[in-house]
Amino acid sequence: MSESPSETPLSGHRLIASQLRLLDSSPGVYRMLDAQSRVLYVGKARNLKRRVANYAKPTGHSARIARMIRETTEMMFLTTRTETEALLLEQNLIKQLKPRYNVLLRDDKSFPNILVSRSHAFPQIKKHRGARKEKGHYYGPFASADAVNRTLNQLQKVFLLRNCTDANFESRTRPCLLYQIKRCSGPCVGLISEADYAQSVKDAERFLSGGSTDIQETLAAEMQAASDAMEFERAAALRDRIRALTTVQGSQGINPRGVAEADVIALHMEGGQACVQVFFIRANQNWGNRDFYPRTGSGAEEPEVLEAFMGQFYDTKEPPRQILLSHPIENPDLMAQALSDKKGRKVELLVPLRGEKAELVAGAARNARESLARKMSEAATQARLLDGLAEAFGLETPPERIEVYDNSHIQGTNAVGGMIVAGREGFLKSQYRKFNIKDESLTPGDDFGMMKEVLNRRFKRLLKEDPDRETDAWPDLLLIDGGAGQVSAVAEIMADLGVDDVPFIGVAKGIDRDAGKEEFHRPGQRPFALKRNDPVLYFVQRLRDEAHRFAIGTHRAKRAKAVGATPLDDVPGVGATRKRALLTHFGSAKAVARADLADLKAVDGISDTLAETIYDYFHEKG
């Protein structure tokens, strides 16, 4: 791989033409940069010289490409061995650099799976997200945590598999509530044999692999046999399991007979915006759908949008055997080859025109169209609210990025600050931030001091990372939970930092702390209120409530973690497994601290050296 930046006073198609002498017919990736060296566009090519020569022509381009060419003042090139490598590199660079003229997948979270663990004699069934490091069988992906939870809930009713942790399993002396409500077979206390439990696990995995019909027939036969033997309680239990299995199938909607494993991807574009719907078909079952709203790169067409979406979507996800598309993409053979290489077996791309596959695509396309219509309606409403906010608070322009701050603590303990972000697309949850209050000199419950620390940390980082304000990370408006005192504290912080162009407003509860009577405070101005039925007032209330919810949730998580903490957490060499072994052996952290060296050495999993470390830790401290 080689890289060669160019430096020239030329721009536009003349600049691009001047680069042709540097290129040969190798495959690779090219970048177009503007006068501030910001990447405008990243593209791939089977033949770099031929592709770049297309941009060197002064005419014949779409409005989007012509605009991009005019802004180009520099180009960079990376050659690769194959076009497939170029495709993968292109998508990685797009995700990393986020160029303005590229299609960009903005929501790229991982999807949950169901894991049947294999690290225990009585396997656990549970939701799993992230890298597949744990030993066991994985089934998925599911479109959302809700889809997994619904399926797990019904699977527990049908197969009675445990979902408790191994540590909880080992510590049980009597069955838990799940056994009482017929969601678990009670393996922790020997109420089912290992062989019978293994058969239940096998049945569950058969269902997750598409064998639901066989299982229903087996359960129905068992129910009839129990009824004939006048074992009516067992027959009723089997009836309930059959009903639960039917509920799982019914909740999955369309379950295609002729499609065992596929992702159905449909695109709908309107008004320069796009929605992509992805349906996950596994084991002839619909495991949910998810919508995405990629940035369309200032006017890209359907084939480019769909291909860019696929490249970025499957960058971190395993592709299925078959992908059903609503539109042809620009390089189907290349994309199929790249995905096949990633999966290690053939991946087929289809644009079906008839039959069951076409019906699946049509259903996904309908969902994409309806989802985009809802989003565009919400965006129009949000735009009107931002316009109203600017008018109500005397802002020069409607804010593109609003940051709302709140603190949470109990008498000063486990104090945290929370920042939420909102803009034209609503709440931007990926940009929320939490701040653990670090200043130990603060008086417990000092809300002013906590707010000062949070804003100092936030804006010092902004000034360090983006002093020229070239990104959209800088807020256009700050909303602070509080009145005149909080506003004065913020004004002091901003003056000390030299930030004088970010407006901020304090939102204080009014008379009787009644919602609807909020007062708004600005530096050097009298407080004012909005009419009780003003939509802008409701909007501000939603922003404040979301900040409050986020701060409280963060505080509760921190407090729960602190409650579960023990002195063992600070002992070198004692991780979660050894901590559990020590607590199981001695009963409490206090008993571990008081134990003599010989008793510590007797604990399973604790070496002589570690026992000495634990003993020295507590006795040196004492």
Name the residue ranges covered by the structural domains of the chain: 12-91, 113-251, 261-373, 401-562, 567-621
Residues 467-482 have pLDDT tens digits of: 888 778 899 999 988 8
Does position 212 have pLDDT exceeding 70, yes or no? Answer: no
The residue with greater pLDDT, 263 or 284, is: 263
| Secondary structure (3-state) at 381 | helix
**How much is the pLDDT for 379?**
83
Kindly give the interhelix angle for 332-343 and 302-313, rounded to the nearest 10 degrees: 10
Q: What is the DSSP-derived secondary structure letter of residue 337?
A: H
Amino acid at 477: L
Q: What share of the chain is helix, strand, coil (3-state, %, to 5)?
A: 45, 20, 35
Residues 483-498 have pLDDT tens digits of: 888 888 889 889 988 8
Q: What is the DSSP-derived secondary structure letter of residue 3?
A: B
CATH number of the domain located at residue range(s) 261-373 in this protein? 3.30.420.340
Residues 34-47 have pLDDT tens digits of: 988 899 999 999 99
Does position 515 have pLDDT exceeding 70, yes or no? Answer: no
The mean pLDDT value of the chain amounts to 85
Q: Residue 322 — pLDDT band, cuts 50, 70, 90? A: very high
Residues 14, 15, 16, 22, Cα dihedral to 10°: 120
Please report, rounded to a whole number, the percentage of residues in the chain having pLDDT higher than 70. Answer: 90
Average pLDDT over residues 127-146: 86
The residue with greater pLDDT, 617 or 540, is: 540
Q: Is 87 left (phi over 0), alpha (psi -120 to 50) or beta?
A: alpha
For domain 12-91, the CATH class is alpha beta
Task: Return d(Cα 506, Cα 519) in angstroms, integer.
Answer: 8
Task: Return d(Cα 297, Cα 305) in angstroms, integer.
Answer: 8
**How much is the pLDDT for 411?**
56
The 8 Å CB, 24+ separation contacts for 411-415 are: 411/444, 411/445, 412/442, 412/443, 412/444, 412/445, 412/446, 413/444, 413/559, 414/555, 414/558, 414/559, 414/562, 415/442, 415/450, 415/555
Judge contact between 127 and 287, C-beta under 8 A.
Answer: no
Task: Return d(Cα 25, Cα 49) in angstroms, integer.
Answer: 6
Question: Do the domains spanning 261-373 and 401-562 agree at the CATH topology level?
Answer: yes
Judge contact between 390 and 399, C-beta under 8 A.
Answer: yes
Task: Return d(Cα 151, Cα 249) in angstroms, integer.
Answer: 9
Q: Give the other-Cβ count within 10 Å of 257's Cβ.
A: 7
- Answer yes or no: CATH 1.10.3720.10 is held by domain 567-621: no
The alpha-helical segments, DSSP class H, found in 41-109 are 48-55, 63-71, 83-97
**How much is the pLDDT for 249?**
55
Q: Which CATH architecture has domain 401-562?
A: 2-Layer Sandwich (3.30)
**How much is the pLDDT for 622?**
41
Structure tokens, 532: 């009780």
With b for 16 or more beta-carbon neighbours within 10 A and e for fewer, the 492-510 pattern comes to ebbeebeeeebbbbbbbee
Does position 55 have pLDDT exceeding 80, yes or no? Answer: yes
Backbone angles phi, psi at 38, to 5 degrees: -85, 140
Q: Can the peptide bond before residue 123 be classed as cis, meaning omega within 30 degrees of 0?
A: no
Of 111-125, 320-334, 356-370, 575-589, the one with minimum mean pLDDT is 575-589
**How much is the pLDDT for 250?**
54
Does position 416 have pLDDT exceeding 70, yes or no? Answer: yes
Average pLDDT over residues 505-527: 78
Q: How many CA atoms, within 13 angstroms, populate the side-chain half-sphere of residue 66?
A: 6
Structure tokens, 123: 């396997």
**How much is the pLDDT for 409?**
66
